[in-house]
Amino acid sequence: MRRYKMIVIDDEEISADGVSMLVEQSGLAVDMDGVFYSSIEALKYLKENSIDIVITDISMPELSGLEMIEKMKEANSRSLFIILTGYGSLEYAKEAMRYGVRHFLLKPCSPSELKESISECMGERDSQAQERFLRLKEVIKRQILNQNIKNEENNILTASFQMLMYEERYYECIHGDLETILYDREYGFSNIKGTMIYYVDNTISILPGLKKIAKRHSRERIVIYYCDSGRELTVEEIFKQGRSMFAYGFYTDESCVIEAGKVGEEKELQNFQLELPFRKVTKLLEKNDFSEARDQFGKILKVCRERKVPPQRLLELTEKFCREWMKNFGEEAIQAGIVKEILTVSNSEKLKDVLDKVIQVLGQYKVGELADGKISENLNLIIERYYNISELSLKWISQNLLYLNPEYMGKVYQKETSQKFTSKLLEIRMKKAEEFIRDERRVSEVASLVGFENNPDYFGTQFKKVYGLTPSQYGKRLKMNKKNN
């Protein structure tokens, strides 16, 4: 049930405090927001705060009750006034009614009379809000649908209110939670083109409540778009931008709230050359550096998330480059194979998995062909393909793949790369281990996945040398950071 904010104004402290006490004892859904003994201070407070009901005296030394009401009406205040005074003049009543005052009580009034007047004001306030939001709903809908708006209706759109949007398919999931945080607020909502739009009074920001809802429904990947009352965008622009942000769920693994003021400019997004980082992946693949290629694609996803690149654009570009990378397999293989999956993935994690498959296929193909290039290139391919085999060494490669002298391969590798083969193997294994830990795999499982199945203690020692923490400590820190964010 909605609660109503009220203040009492009377230069006689005993009278003001007495009325305040009667209100608090009335049992009505009213919160006493303040008791003022100065009409000047009360006027200042009313201009800075949204108050539903005001009980005021008429005769006050600084500013009379009627003068204060007049100034509030000039400021388009929606507050309702109850005049409680010792003056029973008909002229006062007529003057008060001229400003829309409908409740005029003589001192001393009974608790029942006061309660009745407050109850009637509460009903009037509800009717006002309902009428206002019905008009707002219609005008917002007409603007979004590019229908003509009358001049007088523009005032409704420029009024101060908050907006939030989300996809209609999540209505059953979060509408109940939204009602919980909006129960004591004036608000309305519409369903336009499969989008739920809520417009809420501007008394207090609903942003903290929205973030709690997103956290409660984190697994659903719901994107809630929020715009505060200080918006510079038109309602039509807000609607367009909000709908474009729904796609952001592709990049995140949990529900989130996106604020209008933190959305990048469309012009900036258009100028963003997404093909350039993909070209870097191509160069890395040409060098057979598959691990770095995976890392580079991870960076691409991060940048796309930060810039809120439309997922369809990312998917189309990924598919285009994967076709380019796999062209040696022939058109039939491309059409029937992994690349076809790209345009159907639903989130960035699945896209990364598909790309890993593509790179793995490329690695297997390269190892199968064993290009005539440098020995170090072939050894890097083998590391990428077989890093999970605990027996992997130059001797093992000599016996199973390249059939070259292991000492010779070691010397050539170090000469071509300025790095020992064993150092490169350990580097790749540690990178893979870190990725698996990020995926919340068990430490014992990770050790096995990166070739340390028979020596998990040694794995832990090497991991700590690289990352400064044991695998368990590293995993706990990741979880803590994720929880704090």
CATH number reported for the structural domain that contains residue 219 in this entry: 3.30.70
Q: Compute the distance between CA of residue 396 and CA of residue 413 in angstroms, rounded to an integer.
A: 15
pLDDT band at 281; cut points 50, 70, 90: confident
Report residue 186: phi and psi, to 5°. -90, 125
Whether 367 shows a pLDDT value over 70: the answer reads no
pLDDT at 115: 92
Burial label, 360 (beta-carbon count in 10 A; 0-12, 13-18, 19+): middle
pLDDT band at 376; cut points 50, 70, 90: confident
Q: Which residue among 125, 151, 182 closes a domain?
A: 125
Q: Compute the distance between CA of residue 140 and CA of residue 197 in angstroms, rounded to an integer.
A: 10
Max distance between CA atoms of the chain, in angstroms, equals 114
The residue segments making up the domain with residue 461 are 384-485
Domain-embedded: residue 24: yes
Three-class SS state of 197: strand
pLDDT band at 153; cut points 50, 70, 90: very low
Give the mean model confidence (pLDDT) for residues 384-389: 85
**Cis previous bond, 108, omega within 30:** yes
Q: What is the CA radius of gyration of the chain?
A: 34
CB-based contacts of 336-341 (< 8 A; 24+ apart in sequence)? 337/361
pLDDT digits (tens, 9 = 90+) for 161-196: 788 999 999 999 999 999 888 877 778 888 888 999
Query: What is the 8-class DSSP label of residue 248?
Result: G
Q: What is the dihedral of CA 380, 384, 390, 396, to 10 degrees?
A: -40
Helix, strand, coil percentages (3-state) for the chain, rounded to 5, are 60, 10, 25
pLDDT at 216: 93
| Residue pointed to by tokens 């050539």 | 412
Whether 278 shows a pLDDT value over 60: the answer reads yes
Domain-embedded: residue 141: no
Burial label, 342 (beta-carbon count in 10 A; 0-12, 13-18, 19+): buried
Looking at the fold, whether 25 and 121 belong to one and the same domain comes out as: yes
Query: Is the four-CA dihedral 423, 427, 432, 436 of positive or negative sign?
Result: positive
Residue in 139, 103, 105, 106 with CA at minimum distance from that of residue 123: 103
Looking at the fold, whether 117 and 13 belong to one and the same domain comes out as: yes
Q: Compute the distance between CA of residue 33 and CA of residue 375 in angstroms, rounded to an integer.
A: 80
Looking at the fold, whether 85 and 182 belong to one and the same domain comes out as: no
Three-class SS state of 366: helix
Number of domains in the chain: 4
Residue in 62, 61, 79 with CA at minimum distance from that of residue 8: 79
pLDDT at 420: 94
Q: Compute the distance between CA of residue 186 and CA of residue 128 in angstroms, rounded to an integer.
A: 10
Looking at the fold, whether 238 and 304 belong to one and the same domain comes out as: no
